[in-house]
């Protein structure tokens, strides 16, 4: 390659990069069937079109003529403006590859090869999990992180985008892989900034990776596709700040070391750290002081339920899709709760609320029953109901096929027929006054 004896000015670099963008989008397995050209009036070239200073245009023309003399490009001038105003620039394919190092631009093929080598070099860290059976073993399932890397590698082999990995940013890719590896170090709920410091020695370094990590987990994780990014990170053990599980009523929790915590005296509720909840070995409620347990989707309705129907009640706030700590507590409760005590779920009458009930039945126990999630409740509060969107209808139709919601199919059909959904905050509870004998607030 003969040296190009000048550095391109911004407008010339913009023209050449536009040509190389087209060049690299072409399928490398197929021959070129037409010339690669760009028309200057379709590009953002502020210097070239300036009416105030002709120098940038004159310099650009001079540099492009030198490139034409060296057989890198072919120039097309506007009629009657030869040597003054260009119409188009055509890339000569035989020497296109030589322009990449001159422009300081790694070819996409080289970037893809570097990313492929990086992913293959880290792939062993996320090996498939196996189950030993006698003298043989079989694959139980692949680590979702391994599935994510394999998907990116398949995209690279097909010449497609490996997003959210970035071809042009090796540093970002290395940081993302470091975050994936560091997930193995999480033993309890960990705030983002703490995770960031432990992984990168920088409390803010994880910030640009959060959404990308959530995207990978939602795509490849075990049933996380419909979770929000925050909920997905919560499944991985990552939270913005330490969280609490809100409980009301005569709960009795036994911790890992045998310590006993009784919550019956706290009003209106007690917020128990999720880290503590995750270590609970036994959970029970005093059945002499209550008749039912209700899991409530949202915090406002949780407190309304306590206010108006708190007598004989034990309650838990789910905070939307139940987090791992909440699921752990409910699993321990089901182990001790007598069969005759109703275990209820009160959530929005929409796809999200019904899906929460389906999750609890599938992941913990089929014992969970709907509370105020029926056609009568919808009709009684019709003035506050909201119309279904097209996406609502599609998702509700999907729920009709869930075996875990077979008993809710008439309710779902009613919602679809009425084209309505209802938020639980709109539901007016039966009692007009707080239950008699409610304890006064006790500081927690």
pLDDT at 2: 54
Q: Give the pLDDT confidence of 344-385 residue by residue, as tens digits.
A: 999 999 999 999 999 999 999 999 999 999 999 999 999 999
pLDDT at 105: 85
Q: Averaged over 151-164, what is the pLDDT?
A: 90
Whether residue 432 is predicted with pLDDT greater than 70 in this model: the reply is no
Cβ within 8 Å of residue 213, ≥6 positions away: 176, 179, 180, 233, 236
Is residue 254 very low, low, confident or very high in pLDDT (cuts 50, 70, 90)?
very high
Whether residue 1 is predicted with pLDDT greater than 70 in this model: the reply is no
What's the chain's average pLDDT? 90
Whether residue 261 is predicted with pLDDT greater than 90 in this model: the reply is yes
Whether residue 131 is predicted with pLDDT greater than 70 in this model: the reply is no
Q: With b meaning 16 or more CB within 10 Å and e meaning fewer, what string describes 163-184?
A: ebbbbeeeeebebbbebbebbe
pTM comes to 0.74
pLDDT at 26: 75
Is residue 408 very low, low, confident or very high in pLDDT (cuts 50, 70, 90)?
very high
pLDDT at 25: 78
Q: Are 357 and 368 in contact (CB under 8 A)?
A: yes
Compute CA distances 50 → 3, 14, 53, 155, 224, whole Å: 30, 16, 6, 42, 53
Residues of the chain with pLDDT > 90, as a percent, come to: 76
pLDDT at 137: 42
pLDDT at 99: 92
Whether residue 27 is predicted with pLDDT greater than 80 in this model: the reply is no
Q: Which of 157-171, 205-219, 248-262, 405-419 has the lowest mean pLDDT?
A: 157-171
Is residue 439 very low, low, confident or very high in pLDDT (cuts 50, 70, 90)?
very low
Tokens of 213: 């990590």
DSSP 67-127: HHHTTSEEEEEPTT-TTT-EEEEEE-GGGGGGHHHHHT---HHHHHHHHHHHHHHHGGGGP
Cite the beta strand spans of 172-229 per DSSP E.
Answer: 190-191
Half-sphere exposure of 344 (CA within 13 A, CB side): 19
Q: Are 223 and 362 in contact (CB under 8 A)?
A: no
Cite the beta strand spans of 286-391 per DSSP E.
Answer: 292-296, 313-317, 343-346, 369-370, 386-387
Whether residue 442 is predicted with pLDDT greater than 70 in this model: the reply is no
Tokens of 293: 């347990």
Residue 72's closest CA among 130, 143, 15?
Answer: 15
Distance of alpha carbon 82 from alpha carbon 84, whole angstroms: 5
Residues of the chain with pLDDT > 70, as a percent, come to: 92
Whether residue 404 is predicted with pLDDT greater than 70 in this model: the reply is yes
Q: With b meaning 16 or more CB within 10 Å and e meaning fewer, what string describes 111-131?
A: bbeebeebbeebeeebeeeee
pLDDT at 97: 87
Is residue 140 very low, low, confident or very high in pLDDT (cuts 50, 70, 90)?
very low
pLDDT at 28: 65
Whether residue 433 is predicted with pLDDT greater than 90 in this model: the reply is no
Kindly list the domain boundaries of the chain, sorted by start residue. Answer: 10-103, 108-239, 244-426
Distance of alpha carbon 309 from alpha carbon 37, whole angstroms: 74
Q: Give the pLDDT confidence of 62-94 residue by residue, as tens digits.
A: 999 999 999 999 999 999 999 899 999 999 999
CATH topology of domain 244-426: Dna Topoisomerase Vi A Subunit; Chain: A, domain 2 (3.40.1360)
**Helices 170-182 + 210-220 axis angle, to 10:** 60
Distance of alpha carbon 360 from alpha carbon 72, whole angstroms: 65
pLDDT at 259: 92
pLDDT at 84: 92
Q: Are 212 and 173 in contact (CB under 8 A)?
A: no
């Amino acid at each position: 390659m003969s040296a190009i004896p000048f550095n391109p000015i911004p407008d010339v670099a913009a023209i050449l990069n536009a040509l190389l963008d087209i060049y690299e989008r072409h399928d490398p397995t197929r021959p070129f069937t037409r010339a690669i050209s760009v028309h200057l009036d379709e590009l953002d070239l502020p210097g070239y079109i300036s009416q105030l200073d002709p120098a940038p245009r004159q310099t650009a023309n001079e540099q492009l003529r030198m490139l034409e003399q060296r057989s890198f490009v072919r120039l097309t001038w506007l009629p009657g403006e030869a040597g003054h105003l260009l119409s188009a620039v055509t890339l000569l394919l035989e020497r296109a590859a030589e322009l990449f190092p001159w422009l300081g631009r790694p070819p996409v093929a080289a970037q893809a090869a570097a990313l492929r080598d990086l992913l293959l070099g880290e792939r062993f860290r996320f090996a498939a999990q196996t189950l030993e059976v006698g003298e043989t073993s079989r694959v139980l399932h692949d680590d979702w992180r391994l599935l994510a890397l394999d998907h990116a590698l398949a995209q690279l082999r097909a010449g497609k985008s490996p997003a959210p990995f970035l071809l042009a940013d090796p540093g970002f890719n290395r940081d993302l892989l470091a975050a994936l590896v560091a997930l193995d170090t999480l033993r309890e709920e960990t705030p983002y900034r703490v995770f960031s410091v432990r992984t990168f020695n920088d409390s803010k370094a994880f910030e640009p990776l959060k959404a990308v990590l959530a995207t990978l987990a939602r795509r490849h994780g075990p049933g996380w596709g419909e979770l929000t990014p925050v909920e997905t990170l919560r499944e991985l053990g990552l939270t913005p700040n330490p969280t609490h599980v809100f409980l009301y009523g005569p709960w009795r929790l036994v911790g890992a070391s045998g310590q006993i915590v009784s919550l019956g005296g706290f009003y209106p509720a007690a917020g128990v750290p999720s880290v503590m909840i995750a270590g609970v070995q036994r959970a029970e409620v005093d059945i002499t002081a209550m008749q039912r347990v209700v899991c409530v989707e949202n915090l406002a309705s949780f407190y309304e339920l306590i206010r108006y129907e708190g007598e004989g009640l034990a309650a838990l706030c789910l905070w939307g899709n139940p987090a791992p700590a909440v699921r752990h507590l409910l699993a321990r409760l089901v182990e001790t709760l007598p069969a005759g005590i109703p275990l209820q779920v009160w959530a929005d009458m929409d796809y999200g609320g019904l899906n929460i009930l389906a999750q609890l039945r599938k992941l913990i126990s089929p014992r969970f029953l709907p509370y105020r999630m029926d056609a009568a409740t919808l009709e009684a509060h019709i003035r506050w109901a909201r119309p279904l969107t097209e996406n609502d209808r599609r998702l509700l139709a999907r729920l009709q096929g869930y075996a875990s919601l077979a008993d809710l199919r008439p309710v779902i059909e009613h919602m679809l027929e009425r084209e309505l959904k209802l938020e639980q905050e709109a539901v007016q509870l039966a009692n007009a006054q707080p239950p008699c004998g409610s304890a006064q607030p006790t500081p927690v």
